[in-house]
């Protein structure tokens, strides 16, 4: 596997140093950026050389990990984030996935668990899709369930959804260019799908397609 570059956001210097040392020992991983809080990280965006993924601590001053995820959701750029925390709280996990986290690990995890999660997120986009599907609000048992026969989307909406699920992780501008549309027109398709199916994020669109087997690579 090719080298995976990582940015670490954690307010404890000793934790960052320990993570960097551990990750570099895992073989194909290199830490290219580190930040001591979410405020500094967000202020530094866009990074000169975008890393493949981000390891984000939950408990930080000023902005916690969930608040950072919310800010990242507002950007058009895609961020593969693994949330690390010592607080194994169901609400925190659900919020993390709902706001776009690609995986979650307790800080008591093993080096094997960490490497496994990083490789999964770097290669397939998520650490544990089945867990995310169970947890994310749009797919909880007490919410609306969609049968495939109930899902009606237009040809253009399907084309947009296929672009969203593409492994190249196109930006909205790139999708619009490939579809021969303005970004504003593309935004109309996104809003329509969000409103019709109760979806709240780009990650939610991918999970929606995954669960209902609507587009490649889930068919």
Per-residue pLDDT of the chain (219 residues; tens, 9 = 90+): 589 999 999 999 999 999 999 999 988 899 999 999 999 999 999 999 999 999 999 999 999 999 999 999 888 678 999 999 887 777 888 788 878 888 989 888 999 999 999 988 887 778 876 666 666 544 444 444 444 556 889 999 999 999 888 877 777 888 999 999 998 899 899 889 988 888 877 777 887 887 788 888 777
Domain 140-212 fold:
Arc Repressor Mutant, subunit A (1.10.10)
Residue-level pLDDT at 130: 64
Domain extents in the chain:
4-135, 140-212
User: What pLDDT, on a 0 to 100 scale, did the predictor assign at position 145?
Assistant: 45
pLDDT computed for residue 136 by the predictor:
58
> How high is the pLDDT of residue 183?
87
What integer pLDDT is reported at residue 213 of this predicted model? Answer: 81
User: What pLDDT is attached to residue 20?
Assistant: 94
Q: Token pair of 181, please? A: 């549309």
Q: Is the pTM of this model over 0.75?
A: no
Residue 212 burial (CB count, 10 A): 15
Assigned CATH for 4-135: 3.40.50.2300
Topology alike, domains 4-135 and 140-212: no
């Amino acid at each position: 596997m090719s080298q995976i570059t990582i940015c670490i956001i954690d307010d404890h210097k000793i934790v960052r140093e320990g993570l960097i040392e551990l990750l570099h020992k895992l073989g194909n991983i290199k830490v290219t950026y580190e930040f001591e809080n979410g405020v500094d990280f967000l202020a530094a965006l866009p990074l000169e050389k975008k890393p493949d993924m981000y390891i984000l601590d939950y408990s930080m001053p000023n902005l916690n990990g969930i608040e950072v995820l919310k800010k990242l959701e507002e950007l058009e750029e895609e961020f593969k984030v693994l949330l690390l925390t010592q607080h194994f709280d169901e609400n925190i996990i659900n919020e993390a996935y709902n706001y776009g986290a690609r995986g979650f690990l307790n800080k008591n995890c093993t080096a094997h668990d960490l490497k496994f999660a990083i490789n999964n997120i770097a290669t397939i986009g998520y650490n544990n899709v089945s867990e995310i599907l169970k947890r994310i609000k749009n797919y909880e048992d007490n919410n609306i369930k969609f049968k495939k026969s109930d899902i009606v989307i237009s040809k253009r909406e399907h084309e947009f959804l296929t672009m969203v699920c593409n492994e190249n992780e196109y930006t909205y501008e790139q999708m619009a260019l490939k579809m021969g549309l303005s970004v504003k027109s593309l935004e109309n398709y996104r809003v329509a799908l969000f409103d019709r199916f109760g979806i709240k994020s780009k990650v939610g669109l991918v999970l929606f397609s995954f669960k209902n087997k609507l587009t490649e690579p889930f068919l």
